[in-house]
């Protein structure tokens, strides 16, 4: 991928030159930092669970065939895990004052599928595969079924031993592109990751509360966001009435709606000033962010490749490896608190 003026990514690059016709990304994939090595085919190389990937893929396909929303749900779950305290499956832990039980995560879903996969793997490969690796693999497979490339996933993560609601620092959906980029950079991601990962909004829904200010009280003016097209404003106001007690959900890309199709429509809607969230629309106003929006809007293939790269980058944030953390027997509990083994 060529991006003039874009910040160079600092991590060692290798190339996965596999056929796009087979559903894989002919794109650059980035290795994790050398002090926290993740490995391609980790469980196969250790001979601890050689078939982990087909096991996970099969369970995801069974679920996806019945419920297409699982793709968006798992993407949100991975984001909530990795962007808070690193990819350590802390979002899966239950209990008082955990991330999972926070009101900020009340709408997260997808836990049942992860639990199902873990149950299967504990039967076939007991004590071998971490919940964190399961989540990363499940996301890869779910987005592939929705139309994304089936990118390589580096493995070897271990699971965290704690989860705290106070760690949660999600940014506002009404933030500027500068604030959004600063948040991603604080997580050791860059402008390409920022623009690309927001492209996950091409699937799923946003609740009215996340863009209500744009419809009725933009920046405290008592008026709508002047950048919104009139027909978009009228349509959204009809779905999100003023002072409604119901926080309805609106599709990011109503053209696809409940099909939950992975596409670059998110970026074409930004160029047309038809975005739901302010942070999404803001991408068109930055130099580098605007350049990437244009590129992705004009090339679905570039977006597919960029997505494979950036979601791998996010999946490598602050991972636990070696003797750090543990391999949970049940993703909901650290092992010493697991009622089934204590």
Q: Which residue has the higher pLDDT, 33 or 145?
A: 145
Residue 212: inside a domain: yes
Contact 293, 270 (CB under 8 A): yes
What does the pLDDT read at residue 301?
96
**Range 32-57 average pLDDT:** 86
16 assigned to some structural domain:
no
Indicate if 89 and 145 belong to the same structural domain: yes
Q: Residue 99 annotated as binding?
A: yes
Residues 46 and 113 in one domain: yes
Residue 270 lies in a domain: yes
> Does residue 3 belong to any structural domain of this protein?
no
More confident residue, 257 or 61: 61
179 is in an annotated binding site: no
Would you say 90 is a known binding-site residue?
A: yes
pLDDT tens figures, 12-38: 232 233 333 334 443 334 444 445 589
Helix H, strand E, coil C: the string for 44-80 is HHCCCCCCHHHHHHHHHHHHHHHCCCHHHHHHHHHHH
Q: What is the pLDDT of residue 30?
A: 45
| Residues pairing with 206 in the sheet | 250
Residue 144 labeled ligand binder: no
What is the tens place of the pLDDT at every residue in 78-116? 999 999 999 999 999 999 999 999 999 999 999 999 999
Whether 171 has a binding-site annotation, put simply, is yes
Asked if the structure places residue 153 within a domain, the reply is: yes
Whether the pLDDT of residue 196 is over 70: the answer is yes
Mean pLDDT score, 64-75: 96
Q: Are residues 155 and 250 in the same domain?
A: no
pLDDT at 36: 54
Residues 6+ apart with CB under 8 A from 244: 208
Give the C-alpha separation, 94 to 205, whole Å.
25
Q: Tell me whether residue 305 is in a domain.
A: yes
pLDDT bucket at 117, cuts 50 / 70 / 90: very high
226 is in an annotated binding site: no
H helices present in 167-299, as ranges? 177-186, 191-198, 212-216, 230-239, 265-271, 278-282, 287-298
Burial letters for 142-179: b for 16+ Cβ neighbours within 10 Å, e otherwise?
bbbbbbbbbbbbbbbbbbbbebebeebeeeebbbebee
Tell me the backbone φ, ψ of residue 195, rounded to 5 degrees.
Answer: -65, -40
pLDDT band at 342 (very low <50, low <70, confident <90, very high): low
To the nearest whole percent, how much of the chain has pLDDT over 90?
83
Same domain? For 109 and 154 the reply is: yes
Contacts of 68 (CB under 8 A, 6+ apart): 146, 258, 259, 260
Q: What is the pLDDT of residue 37?
A: 82
Q: Does 35 belong to an annotated binding site?
A: no
What CA–CA distance (Å, rounded) separates 225 from 229? 9
Tokens of 45: 């190389």
Same domain, 152 and 212: no
> Residue 111, by phi and psi: left (phi above 0), alpha (psi -120 to 50) or beta?
alpha
Whole-number pLDDT of residue 338: 84
Q: For residues 63 and 88, state if they share a domain.
A: yes
Give pLDDT, residue 5: 33
The answer to whether residue 19 sits within a structural domain is: no
> Is 201 known to sit in a ligand binding site?
yes
Domain residues for the domain of 252 are: 177-315
For 13, half-sphere exposure in the C-beta direction (CA atoms, 13 angstrom radius) is: 10
Helical (H) or strand (E) element with 205: strand 205-207
Is 110 annotated as belonging to a binding site? Answer: no
The pTM assigned to this predicted structure is: 0.89
Domain count, the chain: 2
pLDDT digits (tens, 9 = 90+) for 208-236: 999 999 999 999 999 999 999 999 999 99
Instruction: Please indicate, yes or no, whether residues 114 and 127 belong to a single structural domain of this protein.
Output: yes
Query: Residue 264 maps to which CATH number?
Result: 1.10.420.10
48 in any annotated domain: yes
Higher pLDDT, 279 or 18: 279
- In this structure, the answer to whether residues 188 and 290 fall within a common structural domain is yes
- Three-state secondary structure call for residue 162: coil
CATH number reported for the structural domain that contains residue 57 in this entry: 1.10.520.10
Verify that 233 and 165 share a domain, yes or no: no
185 and 277 inside one domain: yes
Query: Are 126 and 247 contained in the same domain?
Result: no
Same domain? For 61 and 76 the reply is: yes
């Amino acid at each position: 991928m060529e991006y003039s003026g874009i910040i160079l990514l600092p991590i060692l690059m290798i190339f996965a030159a596999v056929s796009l016709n087979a559903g894989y990304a002919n794109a650059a994939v980035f290795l994790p930092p050398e002090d926290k090595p993740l490995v391609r085919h980790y469980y196969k190389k250790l001979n601890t669970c050689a078939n982990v990937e087909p096991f996970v893929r099969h369970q995801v396909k069974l679920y996806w065939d019945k419920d297409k929303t699982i793709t968006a749900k798992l993407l949100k779950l991975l984001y909530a895990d990795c962007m808070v305290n690193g990819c350590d499956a802390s979002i899966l832990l239950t209990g008082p004052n955990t991330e999972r039980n926070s009101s900020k995560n009340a709408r997260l879903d997808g836990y049942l599928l992860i639990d199902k996969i873990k149950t299967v793997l504990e039967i076939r490969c007991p004590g071998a595969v971490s919940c964190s690796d399961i989540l990363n693999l499940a996301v890869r497979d779910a987005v592939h079924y929705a139309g994304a490339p089936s990118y390589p996933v580096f493995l070897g993560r271990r699971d965290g031993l704690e989860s705290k609601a106070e760690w949660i620092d999600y940014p506002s959906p009404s933030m500027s592109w500068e604030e959004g980029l600063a948040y991603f950079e604080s997580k050791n991601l860059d402008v390409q990751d920022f623009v690309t990962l927001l492209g996950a909004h091409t699937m799923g829904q946003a609740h009215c509360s996340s863009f209500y200010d744009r419809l009725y009280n933009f920046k405290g003016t008592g008026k709508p966001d002047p950048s919104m097209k009139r027909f978009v404003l009228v349509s959204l106001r009809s779905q999100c009435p003023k002072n409604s007690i119901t926080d309805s959900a609106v599709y990011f890309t109503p053209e696809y709606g409940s099909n939950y199709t992975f596409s670059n429509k998110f970026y074409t809607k930004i160029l047309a000033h038809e975005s739901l969230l302010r942070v999404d629309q803001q991408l068109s106003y930055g130099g580098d962010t605007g350049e990437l929006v244009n590129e992705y809007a004009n090339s679905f293939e570039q977006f597919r490749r960029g997505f494979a790269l950036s979601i791998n980058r996010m999946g490598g944030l602050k991972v636990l490896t070696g003797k750090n953390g543990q391999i949970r027997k049940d993703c909901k509990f650290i092992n010493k608190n697991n009622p089934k083994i204590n």
